[in-house]
Structure 1
Amino acid sequence: MATASACHILVKTKQEAEQLKGKLDNGADFHQLAKKFSTCPSGKKGGDLGEFRKGDMVAPFDKAVFGGPLLKIQGPVKTKFGFHLIKVLYRS
């Protein structure tokens, strides 16, 4: 079974996600922004979701993690929880 590890920042609006992505593109620290802005409990850990299996997350998130590039910020990715910026650390 495929596994991955990722960090994310979850916010309520696409506009907020795009603003944060702009900061990340300009060199802002992902973990610091996650701690400050993410509405997910993982925000306290800098957005770190740990390791999970394909199919464990909601479909749009899963697709981004298992189909997108490694170590590049993806998003905003819309799910029922809000808008995510996702950084995939590794896949196996």
Structure 2
Amino acid sequence: MSKIAAKHILVAQEFEAKDLVKKLESGESFEKLAADFSMCPSGQNGGDLGEFSKGMMVKPFEEAAFALEVDQTSPIVRTQFGYHLILRYK
């Protein structure tokens, strides 16, 4: 697989990410949570990062994203930018 597509939610603190996991588990929309809580500008677009290849993202993010199945959400991923939840959609 050379390219995948994913959305993400980026927050500064681990407790915020844990709270978002609970919201997702209770059925809240990933895209709405991204718009409401993500620090990344992509949040206003539902967290959509579009398609990307290996080597385009920081290593922990890339490894988590490429390990996901389509429509699967990652566990919390920590990078130098903060804490991410990643949803692969393609």
| Structure-2-length-normalised TM-score | 0.95
| Correspondence for 2:20 | 20
Conserved 8 A contact 1:11-1:17 = yes
The unaligned stretches of length 5 or more in structure 1 are none
Q: Secondary structure at the match of 1:60?
A: helix
Q: Secondary structure at the match of 1:78?
A: strand
Residue by residue over 1:8-67, the C-alpha shift from the partner in whole angstroms, topping out at 9 and shown as x without a partner, is 000001110010011001100010000000000100101000011111000000001111
What does 1:49-68 correspond to in 2, within 5 Å? 49-68=49-68
| Structure 1 residue 70, shift from structure 2 partner | 2.5
More strand by share: 1
Alignment identity in percent? 48
Moved over 4 A (4+): none
| Structure-1-length-normalised TM-score | 0.93
Superposition RMSD in Å: 1.1
